[in-house]
């Protein structure tokens, strides 16, 4: 029970310190900031990096008898994983000023894999579905408003795409106007997205005040 | 040396990039290439965790320097380092349970987490042989080891029980994790409510046609999201002819699904073209600044 | 493209050798997999036969069916990539002979002024290349632009602060900035400890950056990369210390906040065009032109597709329905 | 006019103060604002009310795909929907595609079950319960929490064929094979085809979209609860008819609570939410008035 009490009090004080950020830079915020950065970096180092990534994905696969538990401990070791392990270790050459170029092999490998994936997956998962979304019939029988809405959708997509042209100036009767319509669409979209998000953000603040007023001060039930 | 320092990294990038593209397009007839599609991203994840050592070193060095030089605000650096080291240490040992501990012994007192996920309560092991669901039999006791009168024996999975020291470490870790980390996290997140307000106060001014559209659509969507919006719609309904069509919630939904989503699609299409060509530039070695210079 | 145009002497044979070795080893590996599958299936079939008398059907079926080497359902992706590659290589070649035009991107034109202003005021510059790791293309774009900003800070002798949320990005960024300072002959002014790691946690990072901003009061802030909820906290804090702010992201949900709170915002694709715009490197400009061409193709596909679908839905256009369907099939 | 010009340069800390007060005051001194259900929430309520689509005793699958960060937005609607299901004598089966989803489900289930049992007598007297409702509901008979399983799409695919295989035990380790809730009259193994409705409470990726992408296999009606940030994204699915209904953010929860006449966290949050919204909108209006006033002043000076 005491642990819970301490946690609540520590939490409430940290919460208040963080809120003072809104007023100006002050010792309370600085204290909370440094503690938060330190604790979260420690958490990511030990719990996330070591226990949740390195141990199950690398150590437990290479030395199952030591690092894995249950049935996984009897699995055959996957020695191929020594390759990423070594590549990871190469990064540590950054500590040396003469040999830091060795880490470039790792950087090159990471870049190659991630760009290779990006080329194909961005086309498959985003590009094609978005193009498909814009292709709608302009005439919906019996539904004038629906037809109009579809027209708005198609015109908007095309106009905004014109806005992103880089090799032509946004001038002239055709190009200038189409790009301008594109900007209008973008503005409407930004406004709508902004407005829609406000609600969620306020919910978060309500959650915080609920913690302070009920869990800590017990002012409301 | 130039070959090792400059050309070999470019070759590595080119080959791995190509392998990933080929793996994506290869069918079931080439299972070993196909499998690389999921294997290599996992490798990347492993490789990246190694750099945490570099990050931790950078964090420690900068703050230790501040402390040793007694630079302005060195006390805060001390707070940071204490927080970092204690969380790293506690995380390391609590996560390792039950690796460093013997199996549970019969009759011994252990501690299990309470329902609040923070505090621990003592138990005594009655029977340490696992049943078919992998659980062991325990009874709830008080701090002195006396059985609590109004409780019954229970079945628990053995890996949830901790020794006294581990239970202390766990409590400490929970105070730092829940008390500091989680609370600071959600407070920083909730600051957005304030910043959303100040940003909209400053930015949503009708200085031009474009700014007007930005504000107009934001205003309608905000109004459509709360109950006042339906009140406004009811008032608007009194306007002749077009009044009944002016339902704020409906207008909001229309903006979201047509003009706004058209712009979103276009942004995504453009961004993806950027993704693809930026990636290709790296694979083919046109863009190579990430590799640094010759030195 | 560059490595093909100016191949180092040793490059081609080595590349060819490595590729050959790789493809050989993969093919051999697949052969072994296939043969084991075959044996396994045959064993199964034999077992079935002995158990149930006859399963001629199973035995007659070719054990290892000829499975396709190419994932057919992904042909559209292949078309897109090949098209882009063709356009880009054509215009890259073209750009060597003739200067290609790029339209003004105001956020990028303001970049140099912002660094200059920071120098005049005797304050620093803050640069954040997003909060994701190096496997995110936006981060790569952010780090590339960071090199250009670093050249400017080296030139003007302004302090460059770059707190990082990922260690990997930190180590790459240090290298990029060092190179920029080296090119400007100012290696003495390079301060790697200002490109430091804070924490991987999204909001822990925001708390740290917010603190640095309030204390150091940078005169210019650049946010170029992937951003999520922290976008507005950063931009509002930067605004409150009176910094000129230039932001850029391809994350559609966060662009509105940058537009509302920053002086200049690079929207989506503009972030990726930045490198070409700033370097004026003909090869990069050429690839930008190639991107534009593909965009034109996409616009054409959208318009043609819409017309096809519209006509096929009307009374007269029934005949076009199969055509429209096969068209949409490509976009599955 | 001068007031407005001063207002233009108002210190943003005043804005912060007003936002804070607009949340704190309604929390301390609660009062209710009318909540009018929108179409998407009303549709979901209507679907669960409909005895033809979901006869008494139908089992529904609820997937909890969120973590504590989104709990304030998603848990209230989960509780409201669970209470409604208990009152309709439907049997919720809870699962999770997010690692801590199991805990989220547990909290919501306990809260909803208590809410149902404590109001049983009142509701019975008012005749608002389905005929088969019992005063006490039991785990494993009337509801079950299966907890988290990795795999997302692969996991959902497995559920389409058989629940017992991926979930041999529930979250607490009880064997699912003997549970009454999974029993089929013809002795078949329980599969997705026995589920009447799928609802996912989705905070980001891996939620309802996983079920939508598997729709071709399970062919079950689906609904979603989502955070407000995701409403634009999910509206598309409502339009295309892939979802029968949706509760969006805290307002969605408040609307659902109004429909089942059980005000809870959602309704309580709606008042501060509305007031804060109003404050922000007023600030936008004042900002514009200040801008106009300034423009006029400048025009005067020039004239």
3-state SS of B21-46 is: HHHHHECCCCHHHHHHHHHHHHHHHH
pLDDT of residue C29: 60
- pLDDT for residue A196: 85
pLDDT score of D85: 95
**A196 in a structural domain:** yes
How far apart, in whole angstroms, are the C-alpha atoms of residue D290 and residue A106? Answer: 56
A72 in a structural domain: no
Contacts of C94 (CB under 8 A, 6+ apart): C100, C286, C289
Per-residue pLDDT at C5 exceeds 50 = no
Percentage of chain C beyond pLDDT 90 is 58
The mean per-residue pLDDT over the stretch C4-23 comes to 55
* Per-residue confidence band for C197, with pLDDT thresholds at 50, 70 and 90: very high
CB atoms within 10 A of CB D303: 5
Which of C205, D155, A154, A66 shows the shortest CA–CA distance to B259? A154
Arithmetic mean of pLDDT, A27-48: 95
**Tokens (6 digits) for C121:** 């005021």
Residue C30 placed within a domain: yes
Rounded-to-integer distance, Cα D193 and Cα D195, Å: 5
Is residue D98 scored above 50 in pLDDT? yes
Domain edge (last residue) among C279, C304, C323? C279
Q: Is B70 domain-assigned?
A: yes
DSSP letter (8 states) at residue B151? -
The model's pLDDT over C280-289, given as tens digits with 9 standing for 90+, comes to 888 888 889 9
Determine the average pLDDT of the residues in C70-82. Answer: 88
Verify that D172 and D225 share a domain, yes or no.
Answer: yes
* Best CA proximity match to A151, nearest among A165, A140, A141: A140
Res C39: pLDDT: 44
Mean pLDDT of chain D: 88
Assess if residue A175 is contained within a domain: yes
The answer to whether the beta carbons of residues C68 and B27 sit under 8 Å apart is yes
Are C145 and C229 found together in one domain?
yes
Residues D246 and D206 in one domain: yes
Buried b (16+ CB within 10 A) or exposed e, C208-236: bbbbbbbebbbbbbbbbbbbebbbbbbbb
Least reliable range by pLDDT among A95-104, A160-169, D1-10, D234-243: D1-10
Residue B26 Ramachandran class (φ > 0 left, ψ -120 to 50 alpha, else beta): beta
Domain that holds residue A156: 136-221
Looking at per-residue pLDDT, the higher value among A31 and D170 belongs to A31
| Residue B249 with chain D: CB contacts under 8 Å | 38
* pLDDT at residue number C249: 95
Q: Give the CATH number, domain containing residue C135.
A: 3.40.50
Asked if A199 lies within 8 A of D251 by C-beta distance, the reply is yes
If asked whether residues D81 and D133 sit together in one domain, one would say: yes
Tell me what pLDDT residue D71 has: 84
Does residue B266 lie within any of the structural domains?
yes
pLDDT tier at A203 (50, 70, 90 boundaries)? Answer: confident
Neighbours of B209 (CB within 10 A): 12
C15 and C129 part of one domain: no
Provide the chain B residues 136-155 that lie in CB contact (below 8 A) with chain A: none
Closest CA to C3 of B16, B294, B295, B10: B10
From C91, which residue of chain A is nearest by alpha-carbon distance?
A167
pLDDT of residue C40: 47
Q: Which two tokens stand for residue B162?
A: 């901790």
Which DSSP category does D132 fall into?
A: T
The per-residue pLDDT for C44 is 40
Q: Specify whether the CB–CB gap between C83 and C297 falls below 8 A.
A: yes
Residues B6 and B91 in one domain: yes
Residues within 8 A of A (CB atoms), B 52-91 only: 52-57, 59, 73, 76-77, 79-91
Mark which of B44, B63, B96 sits at the end of a domain: B96
B173 pLDDT above the threshold of 70: yes
pLDDT tops 70 at residue C35: no
- Segment D202-229 shows an average pLDDT of 86
Domain co-membership, C51 together with C189: no
**Residue C117 — pLDDT band, cuts 50, 70, 90?**
very high
Strands across the sheet containing D144-148: D144-148, D91-96, D59-65, D195-202, D222-226, D245-248
- Count CA atoms closer than 13 A to C204's CA, side-chain side: 26
- Residue to mutate among B112, B183, B221, B226, with most D CBs inside 10 A, is B226
**Same domain for D180 and D104:** yes
Q: How high does pLDDT run on average in chain B?
A: 87
Q: What is the dihedral of CA A80, A85, A91, A93, to 10 degrees?
A: -100
B195 pLDDT higher than 50: yes
Average pLDDT over residues B204-213: 92
Find which of D19, D72, D236, D275 to mutate to test the A interface (most A CBs within 10 Å of its CB). Answer: D72
DSSP H or E segment with residue D72:
helix D71-87
Tokens 């953000």, located at residue: A201
Q: CA dihedral defined by B68, B72, B78, B80, rounded to 10 degrees?
A: -130
What's the total number of domains in chain D? 2
**Model pLDDT, residue C28:** 58
Share of chain A above pLDDT 70, in %: 98
From B175, B194, B222, the end of a domain falls on: B175
Mark whether B72 and B50 lie in a shared domain: yes
In chain A, whose CA is at the least distance from the CA of D266?
A203
Place A183 in a pLDDT band, splitting at 50, 70 and 90: very high
What residues in A contact B56, CB-CB < 8 Å? Answer: 41, 45
* Residues B252-281, mean pLDDT to the nearest whole number: 91
> For residues C108 and C273, what is the distance between their CA atoms, to the nearest angstrom?
10
Please check whether residues D193 and D291 belong to one and the same domain: no
In angstroms, rounded to a whole number, what is the distance separating the alpha carbons of residues D26 and D272?
5
Structural domain count of chain C: 2
Owning domain of residue D118: 33-262
Highest-confidence range of B17-26, B286-295, D262-271, by mean pLDDT?
B17-26
Mean pLDDT for all residues in chain A: 91
| Structure confidence by residue, pLDDT tens digits, C173-190 | 999 999 999 999 999 999
Given a contact cutoff of 8 angstroms between Cβ atoms, the answer to whether A120 and A127 are in contact is: no
Q: Tens digit of pLDDT for each residue in B72-122?
A: 999 999 999 999 999 999 999 887 766 555 677 888 888 887 766 677 888
Residue B48 and residue B133 in one domain: no
Domain membership of residue C88 (yes or no) is no
Q: Rounded distance, CA D111 to CA D94, Å?
A: 14
Same domain, B259 and B216: yes
Q: Is the pLDDT of residue A125 over 90?
A: no
Do B16 and A116 lie within an 8 Å CB cutoff? yes
Q: Note whether B193 contacts D15, CB cutoff 8 Å.
A: no
Confidence at residue B228, expressed as pLDDT on a 0 to 100 scale: 79
List CB contacts of C317: < 8 A, sequence separation 6 or more: C310, C311
- Asked, as a colleague might, if the bond just before B98 is cis with ω within 30 of 0, I would say yes
Q: Which of A115, C257, C34 is nearest to B280 (CA)?
A: A115
Q: How many domains does chain B have?
A: 3
Distance between CA atoms of A156 and A176, rounded to whole angstroms? 15
Q: Please state the φ and ψ torsions of residue A170, each to the nearest 5 degrees.
A: -80, 70
Q: What is the pLDDT of residue C32?
A: 55
The count of residues in chain A is 221
Which helix (H) or strand (E) element contains residue B75? helix B74-96
Domain termination site, one of C17, C38, C67 = C67
| Contacting residues of B for A186, CB less than 8 Å apart | 263, 267
Residue D38: list chain B partners with CB under 8 A.
249
Q: Identify the domain containing residue B7 by its residue range.
A: 2-96
Question: H/E element holding C262?
Answer: none
Chain D residues in contact with A202 (beta carbon < 8 A): 23, 272-273, 276-277
The number of angstroms, rounded, from the C-alpha of B14 to the middle of its chain's C-alpha atoms is 31
Determine what percent of chain D is predicted with pLDDT higher than 70.
99
Neighbour count for residue C32 (Cβ, 10 Å) = 10
A36 falls in which pLDDT band (50, 70, 90)? very high
Q: Is the pLDDT of residue B5 over 90?
A: no
Nearest-neighbour CA in chain B from C319: distance (Å): 29
* Residue C96: its H or E element: helix C75-97
pLDDT at D78 > cutoff 80: yes
Contact at CB, A127 and C201, closer than 8 angstroms: no
Q: Check pLDDT > 80 for residue C7.
A: no
Secondary structure of D223-281 in HEC code, one letter for each residue: EEEECHHHHHHHHHHHHCCCCCEEEEHHHHHHHHHHHCCCCCHHHHHHHHHHHHHHHHH
Best interface-test mutation with B: which of A191, A209, A210 has the largest number of B CBs within 10 A? A191
- Cβ atoms within 10 Å of B109's Cβ, excluding its own: 16
| More confident: D263 or A1 | D263
Which of D27, D228, D250 lies at the smallest CB-CB distance from A209?
D27
Q: Do B279 and A119 touch (CB under 8 A)?
A: yes
Interacting residues of C84 by C-beta distance below 8 A, sequence separation 6+: B273, B276, B277, B280, C290, C291, C294
How many separate domains does chain A show? Answer: 1
Does the pLDDT of residue C59 top 50, yes or no?
no
Residue D235 is predicted with a pLDDT of 76
The 3-class SS string of chain A reads CHHHHHHHHHHHHHHHHHHHHHCCCCHHHHHHHHHHHHHHHHHHHHHHHHHHHHHHHHHHHHCHHHHCCHHHHHCCCCHHHHHHHHHHHHHHHHHCCCCHHHHHHHHHHHHHHHHHHHHHHHHHHHHHHHHHHHCCCCCCCCCHHHHHHHHHHHHHHHHHHHHCCCCCCCCHHHHHHHHHHHHHHHHHHHHHHHHHHHHHHHHHHHHHHHHHHHHHCCCCC
Question: Which range scores top for mean pLDDT: A188-192, B150-154, B242-246?
Answer: A188-192
pLDDT, residue C2, reads 46
Q: What is the mean pLDDT of residues A73-102?
A: 91
Task: Please tell me the predicted confidence (pLDDT) of residue C332.
Answer: 67
B52 within a domain of the structure (yes/no)? yes
Which comes out higher in pLDDT, residue C143 or C73? C143
Give the closest residue to C204 by CA, choosing from B74, A32, B171: A32
pLDDT for the residue D90? 94
Same domain assignment for residues D115 and D252:
yes
Q: Based on the domain organization, do D75 and D209 belong to the same domain? A: yes
Instruction: State residue D14's pLDDT score.
Output: 93
Q: Which ipTM did the prediction report? A: 0.88
Tell whether the model's pLDDT for residue C18 goes beyond 60. Answer: yes
Q: State how far the alpha carbon of D55 is from the alpha carbons of D6, D180, D189, D259, in Å.
A: 64, 18, 20, 20
Distance CA C86, CA C91 (A): 9
- The average pLDDT across B245-269 equals 89
* Overall average pLDDT of the B30-39 stretch: 86
Q: What is the mean pLDDT of chain C?
A: 83
* Angle A68-A55-B160 from CA coordinates, rounded to 5°: 60
Tokens of C246: 């230039």
Structural domain of C211: 106-279
- Cβ-based neighbour number of residue B257 at 10 Å: 18
pLDDT at site D259: 94
Q: How far is CA A53 from the centre of its chain?
A: 18
- Residues of chain B numbered 223-252 and touching chain D (CB < 8 Å): 223, 225-228, 230-231, 249
Q: What is the pLDDT of residue C92?
A: 82
Residue B230 to residue D284, Cβ atoms within 8 A: no
The mean pLDDT of A152-172, rounded to a whole number, is 91
* C94: pLDDT strictly greater than 70: yes
Instruction: Please indicate if any CB of chain C lies within 8 Å of the CB of B197.
Output: no
Pick from D10, D239, D291: CB nearest B205: D291
CB C45 within 8 A of CB C70: no
Percent above pLDDT 90 for chain B: 44
Report the distance separating Cα C285 and Cα C88, nearest Å: 9
- Reduced to 3 states (helix: H, G, I; strand: E, B; else coil), residue D65 is strand
The listed range with the strongest mean pLDDT (A75-84, C238-247, D218-227) is C238-247
Name every chain A residue with its beta carbon within 8 A of the beta carbon of D228. Answer: 196-197, 199-200, 203
Residues C117 and C50 in one domain: no
């Amino acid at each position: 029970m005491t642990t819970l009490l301490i946690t609540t009090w520590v939490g409430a004080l940290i919460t208040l310190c963080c809120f003072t950020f809104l007023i100006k830079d002050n010792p309370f915020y600085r204290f909370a900031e440094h503690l938060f950065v330190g604790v979260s970096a420690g958490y990511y180092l030990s719990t996330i990096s070591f226990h949740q990534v390195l141990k199950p994905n690398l150590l437990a696969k290479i030395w199952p008898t030591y690092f894995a538990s249950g049935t996984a401990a009897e699995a055959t070791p996957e020695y191929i994983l020594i390759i990423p392990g070594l590549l990871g270790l190469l990064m540590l050459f950054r500590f040396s000023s003469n040999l830091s170029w060795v880490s470039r092999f790792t950087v090159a490998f990471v870049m190659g894999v991630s760009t290779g994936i990006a080329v194909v997956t961005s086309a498959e998962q985003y590009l094609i579905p978005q193009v498909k979304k814009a292709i709608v019939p302009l005439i919906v029988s019996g539904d004038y408003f629906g037809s109009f809405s579809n027209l708005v959708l198609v015109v908007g997509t095309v106009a905004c795409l014109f806005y992103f042209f880089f090799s032509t100036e946004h001038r002239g009767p055709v190009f200038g106007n189409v790009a301008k319509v594109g900007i209008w669409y973008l503005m409407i979209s930004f406004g709508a997205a902004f407005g829609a998000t406000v609600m969620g953000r306020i919910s978060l603040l309500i959650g915080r005040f609920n913690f302070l007023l009920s869990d800590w001060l017990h002012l409301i039930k | 040396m130039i070959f090792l320092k400059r050309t070999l990294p470019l070759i590595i990038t080119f080959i791995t990039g190509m392998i990933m593209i080929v793996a994506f397009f290869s069918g079931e007839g080439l299972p070993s290439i196909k499998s690389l599609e999921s294997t290599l991203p996992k490798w990347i994840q492993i490789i990246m965790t190694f750099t945490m050592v570099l990050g931790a070193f950078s964090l420690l060095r900068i703050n230790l320097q501040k402390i040793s030089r007694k630079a302005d605000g060195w006390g805060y650096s001390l707070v940071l380092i204490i927080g970092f080291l204690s969380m790293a240490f506690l995380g390391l040992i609590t996560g390792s349970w039950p690796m460093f501990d013997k199996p549970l012994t019969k009759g011994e007192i252990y501690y299990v987490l309470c329902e609040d996920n923070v505090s621990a309560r003592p138990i005594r092991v009655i029977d340490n042989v696992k049943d078919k669901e992998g659980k062991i039999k325990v009874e709830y006791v008080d701090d002195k080891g006396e059985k609590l009168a109004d409780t019954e024996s229970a079945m628990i999975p053995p890996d949830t029980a901790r020794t006294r020291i581990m239970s202390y470490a766990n409590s400490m870790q929970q105070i730092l994790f829940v008390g500091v980390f989680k609370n600071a996290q959600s407070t920083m997140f909730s600051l957005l409510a304030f910043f959303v307000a100040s940003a909209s106060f400053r930015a949503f001014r009708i200085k031009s046609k474009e700014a007007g559209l930005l504000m107009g659509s934001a205003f309608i969507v905000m109004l459509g999201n709360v109950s006042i919006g339906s009140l406004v719609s009811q008032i608007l309904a009194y306007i002749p002819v077009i009044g009944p069509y002016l339902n704020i919630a409906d207008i909001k939904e229309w903006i979201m699904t047509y003009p706004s989503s058209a712009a979103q699609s276009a942004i995504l299409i453009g961004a993806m073209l950027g993704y693809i060509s930026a990636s290709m530039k790296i694979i083919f070695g046109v863009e190579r600044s990430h590799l640094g210079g010759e030195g | 493209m560059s490595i093909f145009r100016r191949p180092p002497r040793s490059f081609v044979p080595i590349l060819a050798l490595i590729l050959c070795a790789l493809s050989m080893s993969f093919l051999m590996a697949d052969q072994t997999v296939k043969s084991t599958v075959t044996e396994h299936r045959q064993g199964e079939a034999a077992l079935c036969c002995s158990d149930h008398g006859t399963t001629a059907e199973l035995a007659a079926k070719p054990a290892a069916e000829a499975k396709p080497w190419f994932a057919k359902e992904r042909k559209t992706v292949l078309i897109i990539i090949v098209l882009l590659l063709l356009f880009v290589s054509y215009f890259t070649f073209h750009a060597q002979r003739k200067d290609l035009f790029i339209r003004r991107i105001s956020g990028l034109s303001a970049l140099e002024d912002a660094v200059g202003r920071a120098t005049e005021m005797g304050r620093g510059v803050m640069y954040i290349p997003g909060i994701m790791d190096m496997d995110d293309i936006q981060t790569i774009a952010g780090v590339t632009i960071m090199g250009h900003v670093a050249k400017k800070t080296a030139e003007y002798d302004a302090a460059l602060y770059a707190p990082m949320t990922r260690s990997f990005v930190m180590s790459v960024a240090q290298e990029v900035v060092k190179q920029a300072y080296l090119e400007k002959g100012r290696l003495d002014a390079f301060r790697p400890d200002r490109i430091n790691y804070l924490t991987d946690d999204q909001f822990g990072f925001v708390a740290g950056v917010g603190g640095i901003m309030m204390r150091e009061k940078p005169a210019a802030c650049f946010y170029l990369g992937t951003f999520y909820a922290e976008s507005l906290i950063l931009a509002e804090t930067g605004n409150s210390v009176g910094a000129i702010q230039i932001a850029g992201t391809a994350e559609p949900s966060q662009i509105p906040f940058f537009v509302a709170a920053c002086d200049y915002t690079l929207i989506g694709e503009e972030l990726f065009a930045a490198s070409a715009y700033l370097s004026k490197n003909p090869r990069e400009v050429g690839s930008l032109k190639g991107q534009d061409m593909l965009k034109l193709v996409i616009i054409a596909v959208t318009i043609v597709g819409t017309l096809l679908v519209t006509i096929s839905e009307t009374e007269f256009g029934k005949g076009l329905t199969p055509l429209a369907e096969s068209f949409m099939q490509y976009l599955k | 006019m001068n007031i407005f010009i001063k207002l233009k340069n108002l210190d943003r800390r005043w804005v912060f103060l007003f936002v804070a007060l607009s949340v704190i005051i309604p929390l301390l001194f609660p009062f209710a604002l009318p909540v009018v259900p929108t179409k998407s929430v009303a549709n979901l309520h209507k679907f669960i009310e409909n005895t033809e689509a979901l006869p008494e005793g139908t089992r529904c699958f609820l997937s909890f795909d969120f973590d504590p960060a989104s709990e304030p937005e998603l848990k209230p609607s989960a509780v409201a929907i669970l209470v409604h299901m208990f009152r309709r004598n439907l049997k919720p089966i809870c699962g999770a595609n997010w690692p801590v989803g199991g805990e989220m489900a547990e909290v919501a289930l306990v809260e909803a079950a208590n809410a149902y049992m404590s109001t049983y007598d009142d509701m019975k007297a008012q005749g608002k319960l389905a005929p088969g409702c019992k005063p006490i509901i039991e785990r494993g008979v009337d509801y079950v929490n299966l907890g988290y399983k990795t795999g997302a799409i692969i996991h959902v695919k497995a559920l389409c064929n058989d629940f017992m295989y991926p979930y041999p035990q529930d979250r607490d380790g009880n064997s699912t094979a003997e549970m009454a809730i999974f029993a089929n009259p013809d002795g078949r193994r329980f599969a997705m085809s026995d589920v009447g409705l799928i609802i996912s409470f989705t905070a980001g990726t891996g939620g309802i979209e996983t079920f939508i992408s598997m729709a071709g296999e399970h062919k079950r009606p689906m609904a979603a609860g989502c955070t407000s940030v995701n409403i634009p994204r999910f509206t598309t699915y409502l339009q295309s008819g892939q979802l029968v209904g949706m509760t969006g953010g805290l307002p969605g929860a408040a609307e659902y609570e109004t429909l089942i006449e059980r005000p809870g966290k959602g309704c309580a949050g709606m008042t501060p939410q509305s007031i804060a919204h109003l404050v922000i909108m007023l600030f936008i209006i004042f900002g514009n008035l200040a801008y106009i006033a300034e423009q006029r002043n400048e025009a005067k000076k020039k004239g």
